[in-house]
């Protein structure tokens, strides 16, 4: 069977599985809709968290970034992995013990302020919409290439699927769907990696194959890739070009931004006990590590195969995968010297090939001539990664509106049934908005991935950390810190990413820190402002200080504080 037929079969089977789970696990109350009733097992929650965590950016984008940036791309690997460790150790157990449904709920109650809650809601919506637009666009691209439908049609299909199990099942449906999606995406990621590792190095373990010797040659794979890269004028793959300070600040921004992402934090509210939150964090880290340690190997395999396949080769002799990806617009060939030979070199004036980094994971099995069912499996994995994260983000959006705005502020006397209806309607609106941006992406969608991390780092992380570990932190300090952090991050990103406020070039970066790394600076500003303001304003009420003490007490930590 051809790739398209295999893709239809595998995608339809997986989508049928997701929909079946959503029907089986539909939510009947707001607690089931928001936190799956609080009764998810640590193992299931670990699998669901891993799927929620590993979005299209992890499945498709990270290996692509490492593939093209080499050593410099490792900042994403270190930052996102380190961020999860930070979240698991510093935040998850304490937030679970607090016993709230959402991050804005925690901030609103901990800082006894609806102003703080509203700012947190705004941040949650901004971060979540930024992410979900990218996920929907990723769904459209996968459909466009492998099912040969229009990108917009692919987005509509993705909207319908996500809408079905997110609106019907809420967190309960999403959790068990994400368990299935993790199994699909990790299988889809590892199978081609193992195939190609054996093909290139004879080693079935990709992590070891990456550093192994090339089959039939007496050179290591990394040395060979370094040579191929330098021959074309690119920097050595294993050497970086970024400054040490920029690497540090980008890594830190990704770490603290990751630890403040609301759609990941809310996963730890779904388990029965605090100790279960710790266990599920450990499971999730293990499941995440499988993909994250394999991504650099896939990047090396894909980059090597790509260079050897396209560089200095006749355009007319390119294999079928090349023309198929050309139709998507993600590979563009411009024969500048009209010789019919592809010049893929670092010199922009001579380079004739433009490649979108996001295609590397999807195209890798085709470049390596793997069986058609493996190619189709990767497509299903990419869809699982995008849809799992999209569902988690949509839930954050709907709960922020129905619970933190309507229930907590606008209509406190709303019934449980009314709140559940509001949550589902909010999810419907959120899906439509996300679909719109997936179909009509603004030019800055790709760039705002860094903005989402920066905003989470600049706003949520300091407020949550200080809320847990500093009982004297008050509402004035927290609100001032979040506002200053958000505004500082927005200003820097808009100035250097989108040429607003006079614009600027790389030479104009403050202290040599890129926009991707400025979230760390904004976070530090948040901490400083929060602590200074809190020193000159009244302490929190005694009951709030006692609550903070209770959250941190390890003895008797088996049960959550419900209030």
pLDDT surpasses 90 at 533: yes
Q: Is residue 349 part of a domain?
A: yes
Name the 3-class secondary structure at 213. Answer: strand
pLDDT surpasses 70 at 269: yes
Three-class SS string for 488-517? HHHHHHHHHHCCCCCCCCHHHCHHHCCHHH
Pinpoint the alpha helices (H) of 202-243.
206-209, 221-231
Per-residue confidence (pLDDT) for residue 476, from 0 to 100: 94
Q: Are 215 and 203 in contact (CB under 8 A)?
A: no
User: Mind giving me the DSSP string for 82-109?
Assistant: HHHHHIIIIIHHHHHHHT-SSHHHHHHH
Q: Is residue 562 part of a domain?
A: no
Helices 42-53, 151-201: axis angle to 10 degrees equals 100
Q: Per residue in 350-404, pLDDT tens?
A: 888 888 777 788 888 888 888 888 888 888 888 777 777 777 777 777 777 887 7
Which H helix or E strand runs over 472? Answer: none
Q: For residues 439-461, b (16+ Cβ closer than 10 Å) or e, as one string?
A: bebeeeeeebbbbbbbbbbbbbb
pLDDT surpasses 50 at 445: no
Q: Is residue 465 part of a domain?
A: yes
Give percent helix, percent strand, percent coil of the chain, each to the nearest 5.
Answer: 75, 0, 25
Per-residue confidence (pLDDT) for residue 165, from 0 to 100: 64
Which pTM does this prediction carry? 0.80
Q: Is residue 559 part of a domain?
A: no
User: Mind giving me the DSSP string for 344-408?
Assistant: --S-TTT--EEE-GGGHHHHHHHHTT--HHHHHHHHHHHHHHHHHHHHHHHHHHHHIIIIIIIII
Q: Is residue 252 part of a domain?
A: yes
CA distance 162 to 174: 9
Per-residue confidence (pLDDT) for residue 123, from 0 to 100: 83
Handedness of CA 387, 392, 398, 401 (dihedral sign): negative
Residue 474: give its domain's CATH number: 1.20.1730.10
Phi, psi of 445 (to 5 degrees): -55, -50
Which H helix or E strand runs over 331? Answer: strand 331-333
The boundaries of the domain holding residue 22 are 3-552
Q: Is residue 563 part of a domain?
A: no
Token readout for 77 is: 């690997």
Per-residue confidence (pLDDT) for residue 27, from 0 to 100: 62
Q: 552 vs 514, which has greater pLDDT?
A: 514
* Average pLDDT value for residue range 161-179: 73
* Count of the separate structural domains present in the chain: 1
């Amino acid at each position: 069977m051809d790739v398209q037929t295999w893709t239809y079969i595998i995608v339809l089977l997986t989508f049928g599985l997701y929909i079946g789970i959503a029907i089986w696990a539909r939510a009947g109350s707001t607690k089931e809709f928001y936190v799956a009733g609080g009764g998810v097992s640590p193992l299931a929650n670990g699998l669901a968290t891993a799927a929620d965590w590993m979005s299209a950016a992890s499945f498709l984008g990270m290996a692509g970034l490492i593939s093209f940036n080499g050593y410099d791309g490792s900042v994403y690997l270190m930052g996102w992995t380190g961020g999860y460790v930070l979240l698991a150790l510093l935040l998850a157990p304490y937030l679970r013990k607090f016993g709230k449904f959402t991050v804005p709920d925690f901030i609103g109650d901990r800082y006894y302020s609806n102003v703080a809650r509203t700012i947190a809601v705004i941040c949650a919506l901004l971060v979540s919409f930024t992410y979900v637009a990218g996920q929907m666009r990723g769904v459209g691209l996968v459909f466009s290439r492998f099912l040969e439908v229009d990108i917009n049609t692919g987005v509509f299909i993705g909207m319908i699927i996500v809408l079905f199990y997110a609106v019907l099942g809420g967190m309960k449906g999403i959790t068990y769907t994400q368990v299935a999606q993790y199994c699909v995406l990790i299988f889809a990621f590892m199978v081609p990696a193992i195939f190609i590792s054996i093909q290139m190095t004879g080693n079935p373990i990709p992590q070891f194959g990456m550093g192994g010797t090339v089959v039939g040659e007496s050179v290591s794979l990394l040395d060979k890739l370094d040579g191929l890269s330098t021959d074309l004028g690119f920097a050595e793959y294993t050497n970086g070009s970024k400054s040490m300070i920029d690497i540090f600040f980008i890594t830190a921004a990704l770490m603290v931004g990751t630890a403040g992402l609301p759609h990941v934090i809310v996963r730890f509210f779904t388990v029965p006990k605090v100790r279960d939150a710790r266990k599920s964090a450990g499971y999730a880290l293990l499941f995440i590590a499988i993909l994250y340690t394999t991504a650099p190997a896939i990047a090396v395999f894909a980059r090597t195969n790509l260079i050897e396949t396209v560089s200095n080769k006749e355009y007319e002799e390119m294999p079928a995968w090349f023309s198929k990806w050309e139709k998507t617009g993600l590979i563009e060939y411009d024969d500048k010297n009209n010789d019919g030979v592809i010049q893929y070199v670092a010199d922009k004036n001579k380079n004739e090939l433009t490649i979108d980094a996001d295609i590397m994971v999807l195209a890798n099995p085709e470049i390596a001539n793997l069986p058609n069912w493996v190619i189709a499996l990767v497509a299903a994995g990419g869809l699982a990664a995008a849809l799992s994260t999209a569902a988690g983000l949509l839930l954050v959006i709907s709960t922020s509106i129905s619970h933190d705005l309507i229930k907590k502020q606008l209509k406190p006397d709303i019934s449980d049934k009314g709140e559940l209806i509001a949550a589902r309607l909010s999810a419907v609106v959120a899906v439509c908005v996300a679909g719109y941006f997936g179909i009509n992406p603004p030019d800055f969608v790709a760039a705002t991935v860094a903005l989402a991390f920066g905003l989470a780092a600049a706003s949520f992380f300091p407020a949550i950390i200080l809320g847990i570990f500093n009982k004297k932190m008050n509402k004035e300090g927290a609100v001032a810190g979040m506002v200053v952090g958000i505004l500082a991050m927005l200003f820097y990103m808009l100035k250097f990413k989108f040429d607003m406020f006079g614009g600027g070039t790389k030479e104009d970066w403050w202290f040599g820190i890129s926009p991707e790394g400025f979230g760390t600076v904004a976070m530090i500003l948040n901490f400083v402002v929060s602590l200074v303001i809190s020193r000159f304003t009244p302490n929190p009420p005694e009951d709030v200080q006692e609550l903070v003490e209770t959250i941190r007490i390890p003895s008797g930590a088996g049960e959550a504080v419900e209030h």
